[in-house]
Structure 1
Amino acid sequence: MRKEKLFFAASNTNIKTLGKTIWIVSGGKKARVLKSLDMGKTWKIHNTPIIQGNGPQGIYSVDFYDENNGIIFGGDYSNPNDNCANKAITNDGGKTWTLIADNEEPGYKSCVKYIPNSSGKEIVAVGKTGISYSKNSGKNWTTISSDSFYTIQFINESSAWLGGPEKLGKLILN
């Protein structure tokens, strides 16, 4: 039997839990979202428009602001500046996904997080190409740093810890 690599371990954010709901994102041949409403007893698989088909392509990170509003981020790890079909949002809990800022910055990112208490409007994404920020639910993005980080975790709505290649950082938002 042939086994396929279905999931990336990027930044430990390819799994999101909220209450009894679990989302797991995949990459490689198929960029899909797996969703369970019962803590993993049963699963549904949802297709996405994220770039896929090649080994380093796919979804690397998922976050949900609430049970309906979520974002997925990734791209092509081997071509980090490519910004085609690498980010999408949902407003139906992950059943359907819509590309955002397609062919616009930022390119590949390994971790995406909603800023707490932002009504799902403010988002930060990090990767080897820097830190990007959106204030309108991912429609537009601004680069706030070119420093390379792989993961981010918010402490509250104004500060977060970042981890990168042999370094730690702290992001303070005003």
Structure 2
Amino acid sequence: MNFKEHIRVIEDFPQQGIRFKDITTLLKNGQMYKAAIDELREKVKHLEIDLIAGPEARGFVVGAPLAYALDVGFIPIRKSGKLPGETIEADYNLEYGKDKLAMHKDAILPGQKVLIADDLLATGGTIQTSIDLIKQLGGEVIGSAFMIELMSLNGRDKLPSELEIITLMQY
């Protein structure tokens, strides 16, 4: 299935020189959204997954339905100050800035196997920070799944070599 036909590219967003890959045009098409989640489910079902973690915000729209499709739990990884319980936090670099991510301290039990799901793999900063948070809680990151990978930013190269990286589309 050609998912790229349903991705809108927005020039110079959120800043000059960025070609933003907008998944909202795929999400609003129910059949394509379902097909994308179904394809990701097929690509990751061989992994022994206990939980799926998704970084805010678009990781929620990929990770939560994927967790549902696989009958596993979902863990939100949020920006600092957004979670109501006790959290752990870590700073990270974005393609176009800096931010801080947080997880509930009780989100993951030691030894649980976690898949990280997000809309986009760019520089790898968000995913590496998510990995670090999960490991702090004793979780084992067994893979990552993305709708899109931006090959020119080499995010894959900055992630652990043993991490299985699954994508639907590459630019």
Query: Higher strand share goes to which structure?
Result: 1
Query: Higher helix share goes to which structure?
Result: 2
TM-score (norm 2): 0.31
